[in-house]
Structure 1
Amino acid sequence: MTTTKLYYEDAYKSSFSTKVIQKKKADDGRLFILLEETAFYPTGGGQPCDIGTINGVNVVEVVEVNREIRHYVEEFPEDNDVFCEINWTRRFDHMQQHAGQHILSAAFEDVWSYKTISFHLGKEICTIDLEVPSITNEELEKAELAANRMILANHPIITKWVSQEELSGYNLRKELSVTDNIRLVIIPDIDYNGCGGTHPHSTGQVSGVKILGWEKQKKHIRIQFVCGARVLNQLQAKHAVIEKLTGLLNAPQEEMIQATDKMVKTSIELEMKVEELTNRLLQYEAKELVEEKDNKVIAKVFVRREIQELQQLARAIIHSENENRTETVIIFVVEQEDKIQIVLARTDNIEMNLNVALKEVLALINGKGGGKPSFVQGGGEKELPADEIVSKLKGMLG
């Protein structure tokens, strides 16, 4: 028995009574039921399914498989006579987004002759892919303006079932993928499109469309947009961010760009000064460590020191010692909260592969690492005290 599709008879139907035809378990163990008739829209055509309840039991997914509309439920309802309720907020949101997509695609084609080749209705943001290799802000703005004018004009949105022979009477925006059960969604003089989704009765109910951005997608352009209530949600979210930034920057909205630009420039200048001062401090530290050198070995244990900084310190020492043609081996061991890190380095006038010593020690602390024969780094677990690791490395390298 085929389920009657009430969502095609009335997209605004949010509740209905019907009978359960069958209760089944899918191959993956999930439970689903078949109904005599349903207003639950199944996933398809870029539009997600409806959710809701059947006799109070949650419907978590609706899909059509081999002309069988499966309502996946958390448990089977006890009775076969059931009352069904659709999550109307979700349904109407999908109606707004889907109709908005038709309108936006029509606008891109009317204004710029850019064809839409795919559509995705996401939980928060929708996308269309345009059959063009690039796009400009001017093109986006003009298409968005044209789309919102279509919405404001409050054109009717009509659905119609037609035969293959009747199609020649309609100027379809794209070629159909089906040859029977053809359903057209028509916005007179604006858009004629084969579509199985749910839509409002007029463009005015879409409320508005806003393009949020775009990205290159292979040889096409993907446009991100929202319609209806989602436009207000985006506006509210962005307004909250601006309100927060207004306080942080101590600047009104109209001066926020200048204030942010000034802050970024100041931040870059400060970072450069910090880097310069850090380099100076490392040079002083390098000189102190060279003075503490024991024979040819500079060995030290650090606590919670950034490994990148110690690599920089080791390079500064080796550079200076190479210029002085002095034989030097560096052993730095860092104790972090939950791990040990090691940096080993040597001057060019010493013939040894530091990877050999490093791997021998890393094997004791379940570690990993490596590098060039003259400069290596690695780390592992706190299986041994840092002083003991230094002692072992001194014995191998000293």
Structure 2
Amino acid sequence: MLKNRLYYADPECQSFTTQVVKTEIDDKEEFYVVLGQTAFYPTGGGQPHDTGTINGVPVIDVIEIDGEIRHYLSGEIDATGEVDCMIDWERRFDHMQQHAGQHILSAAFVELFGFSTVSFHLGTSLVSIDIEAENVTDEQLKAAEELANKVILENRPIEVKWVTDDELHQYPLRKQIQATGEIRLVIIPEFDYNGCGGTHPEYTGQVSSLKILSAEKHRGNTRVHFVCGKRVLNLLHDKVNVVTEASRLLSAPEDRIGQAIEKLLETNHSLEKSLKEAQEALLTFEAKELLSQQRNGLVTAIFQDRSIQQLQKLARLIVAESDETIVLLVARNEEKLQFVAARGSVVAASMKDVSAAVLPLINGKGGGNDAFVQGGGDYKLTEEEFIKMMESSLTSSIN
């Protein structure tokens, strides 16, 4: 066994003293120390690194490079004599619960359905495994979860054994092991035998519970998201708060929240339909008002914070009402100018010519045809100046 690695010798070690073997600043100008022995777990095997302190200075990262475990600190420390080290136990134990839960769930999928785990990720809020199955039913997920929790409740021992290559054949391994030399097996007798370099509790009962949250297809496999231990309680706490707040807002008991939401959605859909109809009626009325103010067959208008879609609808309504009319509409939206130019069916002037003349003035872009164009650009001219330039270009186009 790698004797200077206390996280293997005693996974529940929360504090220790040791000598500093080396201090260094890497090529990224980051300070790290190497210790004579360490209980800080370095990132690896899907499990994140430990955090904590060394002589009161926070440990922000732990990585292993060529057999050397580097402890990156937020500041430098005095490396003479012994240093006092503290593990962030809440973080470590959480990782132990999640990692052991992953072993149990992966073994459950193998035992029940022959689905092997091909990858594992331990995130800050969720854990996931990718299992070698393109389709996994809800019934299969439920069965695997139930078996996993049964094994947890039975409080079976989680054993660790160091073996050699020649001894591997004695164990019914869940998957082939590529490592050689000292090989670490994590074993739940008569259930799971797996090579692993991570940290685990001594008994399955310490995992507390496991809950599958979702599953999705991922690159020909199925990715299963789940949580274990305290994360299950945290998730339950959050969901209870959400349900309680939803019940209050909907004025409905918790067991009727779904029905209340359905009713709310129906009402919202009806209101959206009524609002759309009202907006269309208002636009029709506005189009007639603008048309009544035309000057020699020209309708112009300036707006603030009107969408290009509304400008387009207004212009189309006006030229549909009067086929001898030209419409020029401009809107300022924050630091942008947008415009629409349209003509009635008996008008000969080209709106594309108008657009081509004014777009360079605002570094703009636009599109359309001879009958209808729209565009926009930077606020380099006032709305009044811009619409005058449109009128001027229209006169030139007609002449």
Q: TM-score range by the shorter chain?
A: over 0.9
**TM-score normalized with structure 1 length:** 0.93
Aligned position for 2:84: 83
**Cα distance in 2 for residues equivalent to 1:18 and 1:352:** 88
Aligned position for 1:106: 107
**Cα distance in 2 for residues equivalent to 1:317 and 1:216:** 52
Aligned position for 2:147: 146
1:311 aligns with 2:319: no
Alignment of structure 1 residues 43-192 onto 2, 5 Å: 43-80=43-80, 81-192=82-193
| Mean Cα deviation higher: 371-380 or 225-234 | 371-380
Change (3 A) 1:271 1:29: same
- CA displacement at 1:33 relative to structure 2: 0.8
Change (3 A) 1:183 1:383: same
Aligned position for 2:20: 20
Does the CA contact (< 8 Å) of 1:302 and 1:333 recur in 2? yes
- CA displacement at 1:380 relative to structure 2: 3.5
**Cα distance in 1 for residues equivalent to 2:117 and 2:356:** 57
**Cα distance in 2 for residues equivalent to 1:57 and 1:384:** 58
**Cα distance in 1 for residues equivalent to 2:179 and 2:337:** 64
**Cα distance in 1 for residues equivalent to 2:373 and 2:183:** 68
**Cα distance in 1 for residues equivalent to 2:373 and 2:153:** 67
Aligned position for 1:385: 382
**Cα distance in 1 for residues equivalent to 2:249 and 2:315:** 40
- Which residue identity is paired with 2:366? G
Aligned position for 1:372: 368
Structure 1 residues 167-204: Cα deviation after superposition (integer angstroms, max 9, x where no partner): 11111111223123211111111111111000000110
**Cα distance in 1 for residues equivalent to 2:217 and 2:352:** 44
- CA displacement at 1:378 relative to structure 2: 3.4
- Which residue identity is paired with 1:74? S
Does the CA contact (< 8 Å) of 1:297 and 1:394 recur in 2? no
**Cα distance in 2 for residues equivalent to 1:330 and 1:221:** 57
- CA displacement at 1:3 relative to structure 2: 8.1
Q: CA RMSD in A?
A: 2.0
Structure 1 residues 347-376: Cα deviation after superposition (integer angstroms, max 9, x where no partner): 46656664554455343334x432222444
**Cα distance in 1 for residues equivalent to 2:231 and 2:303:** 53
**Matched-pair identity in %:** 47
Change (3 A) 1:281 1:115: same
- Which residue identity is paired with 1:7? Y
Aligned position for 2:215: 214
1:258 aligns with 2:254: no
Structure 1 residues 107-152: Cα deviation after superposition (integer angstroms, max 9, x where no partner): 1222222221111000111111111112222222121111111111
- CA displacement at 1:292 relative to structure 2: 2.6
SS of structure 1 residue aligned to 2:362? coil
Aligned position for 1:341: 338
Does the CA contact (< 8 Å) of 1:63 and 1:70 recur in 2? yes
Does the CA contact (< 8 Å) of 2:368 and 2:374 recur in 1? no
After the TM superposition, which segments of 4 or more aligned residues of structure 1 sit over 4 Å from their partners?
A: 347-356
- Which residue identity is paired with 1:361? V
Does the CA contact (< 8 Å) of 2:3 and 2:9 recur in 1? no
- Which residue identity is paired with 2:18? T
- CA displacement at 1:393 relative to structure 2: 0.8
Aligned position for 1:223: 224
Aligned position for 1:31: 31
1:288 aligns with 2:289: yes
State the number of aligned residues. 392
**Cα distance in 2 for residues equivalent to 1:78 and 1:118:** 41
- CA displacement at 1:300 relative to structure 2: 0.5
SS of structure 2 residue aligned to 1:38? coil
**Cα distance in 2 for residues equivalent to 1:253 and 1:278:** 37
Does the CA contact (< 8 Å) of 1:156 and 1:188 recur in 2? yes
Change (3 A) 1:153 1:359: farther
- Which residue identity is paired with 1:152? L
Alignment of structure 1 residues 186-205 onto 2, 5 Å: 186-205=187-206
Does the CA contact (< 8 Å) of 2:302 and 2:384 recur in 1? yes
Aligned position for 2:392: 395
**Cα distance in 2 for residues equivalent to 1:337 and 1:370:** 18
Change (3 A) 1:31 1:395: same
**Cα distance in 2 for residues equivalent to 1:356 and 1:102:** 70
Change (3 A) 1:85 1:341: same
Does the CA contact (< 8 Å) of 2:366 and 2:376 recur in 1? no
Alignment of structure 1 residues 317-328 onto 2, 5 Å: 317-318=318-319, 320=320, 326-328=323-325
**Cα distance in 2 for residues equivalent to 1:235 and 1:257:** 18
| Mean Cα deviation higher: 105-114 or 288-297 | 288-297
SS of structure 2 residue aligned to 1:224? strand
| Mean Cα deviation higher: 91-100 or 139-148 | 139-148
Which structure 2 residue ranges, 5 or more long, are not aligned?
Answer: none
| Mean Cα deviation higher: 160-169 or 105-114 | 105-114
- Which residue identity is paired with 2:24? K
- CA displacement at 1:317 relative to structure 2: 3.3
**TM-score normalized with structure 2 length:** 0.92
Which structure 1 residue ranges, 5 or more long, are not aligned?
Answer: none
